[in-house]
Structures are given as C-alpha cells and as structure tokens.
Amino acid sequence: MVALMVLAAAAGEWLRPTYRLAEHKPAIKLEQQVPEAFGEWRLDRSVAPVVPDPGLQAMLDALYSQTLARTYINAKGERVMLSIAYGSDQSNEATAVHRPEFCYSAQGFRVKTLESSRLTIDNTSVPVARLVGQLGRRVEPITYWVTLDEAATLPGFGRKLQQIRYGLMGQIPDGMLVRVSSISTSNDEAFAMQQRFLEQMYAAVPAEVRTRYFGAGKAS
C-alpha cells in the first residue's frame, strides 16, 4: 500500500505541467498593447477609475499579473468601459473571482445572463457571454470572454476542457478576461456599440499578440 501511494505521488508530480507558455511568447503588456486612442475612441480622462475595496484589490493582485481598467469616449459622447485582467498561470479556477457574474454581484448589482454568442471580427470568431447588470437605475449591458493562451472560450465546461488539453501537453497557459460594458437601457444598441468598439480595438492591438487577446478561432 505504501509503495502504491509513493508511486501515485511520483506519477502526480511527473504529470504536473511545468512548461509556462508565457515565458516562451511575446510578453503581454496591457498598458502598451491597448492604445489610449484607436479608431473613433480615445481615453476619457474625465472619468476617474473605480478603485476596488482593499480586500478585492488584494485578491486581484494575488490572482493576476496585470489589470487594465479604462473608459473610452467617441465624438458622439458615447462611452465604453474596458476591463482586462491578465494572469501568467491560468491552470486552475482561482481567477473565476473576476467574472462579471461574481464581481458585479459583489458590488450590489443584480446580474442577468442573456446569452452566449459569437463575435466575428476580421475572420476571427470569439465566443462571448452577454449579461446585464443593474444597480438602482443604472443599467449596464456587458460583453466578455476569457482566453487560455491563444484559445478564446467561456468560463465553465469549455474553459475546463482547454485547461485539461494544455495540462495533458505539460503546459501552463497564460490568459486573460476581457470585458466591455456601457450604460444603456437599450441592450441592442449597447451590444452593437460594443461590437464596433471591439472591432476597432482588434485592429489596434499589435498583430504578434492579437490572438492572446481575441483567440485564434476562425470564423466559418
């Protein structure tokens, strides 16, 4: 019995992924790779970034290597809020804390899941989740997805399958959660504007790291 336990422990250690993909690819630098101005959008400096409470900030710092939170505005005065959280090790479920379903609820929002959909951007197909958060009279349609290395997916079963796939190859994937939202009582108008924003952001992100943000899925 002892021998079997030793063998099982040794096998578990041998099968543990050790190859960190982030160390063998172009570095992710959110602040530099996501421009402050692109397409019709520019950084809205009149909006102060929302500072999480110290407990949540400490948790984010422990889970992610980098985070980016910006509000963009266009000439029409339309605003889109962008949030990206990047981690060099996405081999477990700890980063689920940053999912909008959880972090918005923690701030008092009622969150309703509308649908899972796909964005097609320049022949790239990105699976996305669409939600609506509401806090009092504030209504905030939300679009988001997650990536593991160059695979865009959604949290849950799809993400777990990707984690297993990388694990079987002995690899530790990096990845990110990309979220855009806007304040609007019209879901259709908000999601159309978010699509436009993401198309222009896609074109602005450097080509050598673009699949790390949007995945490499090809539109059929």
Residue 163 has pLDDT above 80, yes or no: yes
CATH number of 19-214: 3.40.1000
Average pLDDT in the chain = 86
- In this prediction, residue 7 carries a pLDDT of 40
Instruction: Say what the pLDDT of residue 57 is.
Output: 67
pLDDT band with cut points at 50, 70 and 90 for residue 15? low
pLDDT bin (cut points 50, 70, 90) of residue 4 is very low
Domain range list for the chain: 19-214
Alpha-carbon distance of 11 to 26, in angstroms, equals 32
User: For residues 183 and 138, is the Cβ–Cβ distance under 8 A?
Assistant: yes
* The pairing of beta strand 37-38 with beta strand 138-148: unpaired
pLDDT in tens, 96-112: 556 888 888 878 899 98
Which pLDDT belongs to residue 6? 40
The residue type of 84 is I
Q: End-to-end alpha-carbon separation of the chain, Å?
A: 53
- H-state helical runs in the chain: 2-15, 30-33, 54-63, 100-106, 157-168, 187-204, 210-214
pLDDT over 70 percentage in the chain: 84
Better pLDDT: 72 or 9: 72
Confirm if 155 and 73 have CB atoms less than 8 A apart: no
Q: What is the CA radius of gyration of the chain?
A: 19
